[in-house]
Amino acid sequence: MRRILITGATGQVGGALLSRLQTCGAVIAADRSIIDFTRPDGISLLLDGLRPDFIINAAAYTAVDKAEEEPDLAMLVNGKAPGAIARWAAQNAVPLIHFSTDYVFNGRGERPWREQDAPDPLSVYGTSKLAGEREVMAAAGRSLILRTSWVYAATGRNFLRTIAALARERAELRIVADQVGAPTSAASIADAVASMLDGMRNTATSLATTFKAAHGLVHLCASGEASWHQFAAAIVEGLRTRGVSLAVTRLIPIPTREFPSRARRPLNSRLDLTRLQKVFGIAMPHWHSALGPELDKLAHEFVHLKGCERSVLS
């Protein structure tokens, strides 16, 4: 049975992959207690002990604004550590999937970004993720980099849960409306990865051939597009439809300049999915349809919490 190592197993994408790939082999769930990404020099020895047959690196430093204050830490986790993993994987002929982000682009224009477009990150976070891409590429192993965007899930810390919480507390929310991308559920990413691996029946050699056909880099996100404001509106409407009581009555669209943050965000986070369809035959679900199952989980959680509150008060 193949040993599949998933790093960042407690994160959104890692958690979804852990659930989705359990039937594909012996899954090794690695969080920071097992592999410390702040110490890249020790990663090779750890991998020698774990001896995975396949690696999916979903671990990352994702605090975009905080990265502006911790550039060295962000570079260790997002740049140096993936490089260490990629070199070990190359030396041991182990296939590797590594996740990156739309934040490697500067967000100009309105055309969806293609894999061959020149990166030009605006933030420390984007710069560190680009460094990770380059480290993985330089290792010249059997690797595939998946750039995704606007990842969320019913669990963890993300835009979906933030809006859901604020909508229950405030009557008015001001949401950025001039940044456009594709909200992408962690579950849909995990489904796509599972489809790529074809139930892990593919050999390392056939995977390497496919990864090479994709030039080692593919964009992977939901289809369609939305602004953060449109995403927030869909969340609010979806929760109300599911019977969740909300305080919010107004969602006010605002430009990025009225929502100051330490890190600059790209205005255009659209990603072109042509290569994903051509090489892997994968058609990603529309962002709005993929949102439904996550809203179901969130609504169930809120109803359960409300029931618990009533039990305590009765």
Q: Which residues contact 112 (CB under 8 A, 6 or more apart)?
A: 270, 271, 272, 273
Asked whether residue 229 is domain-assigned, the answer is no
Per-residue confidence band for 201, with pLDDT thresholds at 50, 70 and 90: low
Q: How many whole angstroms separate alpha carbon 52 and alpha carbon 47?
A: 7
- How wide is the angle at C-alpha 107 spanned by C-alphas 122 and 161, nearest 5°? 85
Distance CA 273, CA 253 (A): 28
pTM over 0.75: yes
Most trustworthy range by pLDDT among 70-84, 191-205, 207-221, 298-312: 70-84
Please tell me the total count of domains within the chain: 1
| 102: containing domain | 3-149+185-222+269-285
Q: Of 29-33, 52-56, 159-163, 267-271, which gets the smallest average pLDDT?
A: 29-33
Q: What is the pLDDT of residue 22?
A: 84
Residue showing tokens 């750039």: 147
β-sheet bridge partners, residue 103? none
Q: Is residue 241 part of a domain?
A: no
Domain assignment present for residue 239? The answer is no
Residue 66's pLDDT band, with cuts at 50, 70 and 90, is: very high
Nearest Cα to Cα of residue 32 among 66, 51, 12, 9: 9
- How many C-beta neighbours within 10 Å does residue 171 have? 10
CA dist list (Å): 102 to 24, 69, 88, 119, 239: 29, 21, 26, 9, 28
Write the CATH number for 43. 3.40.50.720
The answer as to whether 177 is a domain residue is: no
Residue type, 82: P
- Whether 260 is covered by a domain: the verdict is no
Query: Is 248 domain-assigned?
Result: no
Helix (H, G, I), strand (E, B) or coil at 46: helix
Neighbours of 192 (CB within 10 A): 24
Active site residue 152: no
Give the C-alpha separation, 37 to 257, whole Å: 34
Query: What is the per-residue DSSP string for 192-203?
Result: HHHHHHGGGTS-
Q: Has residue 87 been placed in a domain?
A: yes
Catalytic residue (one of 61, 103, 125, 152): 125
* 12, part of any domain: yes
> What's the confidence (pLDDT) of residue 70?
97
Segment 262-305, tens digit of pLDDT: 999 999 999 999 999 999 999 999 999 999 999 999 999 887 65
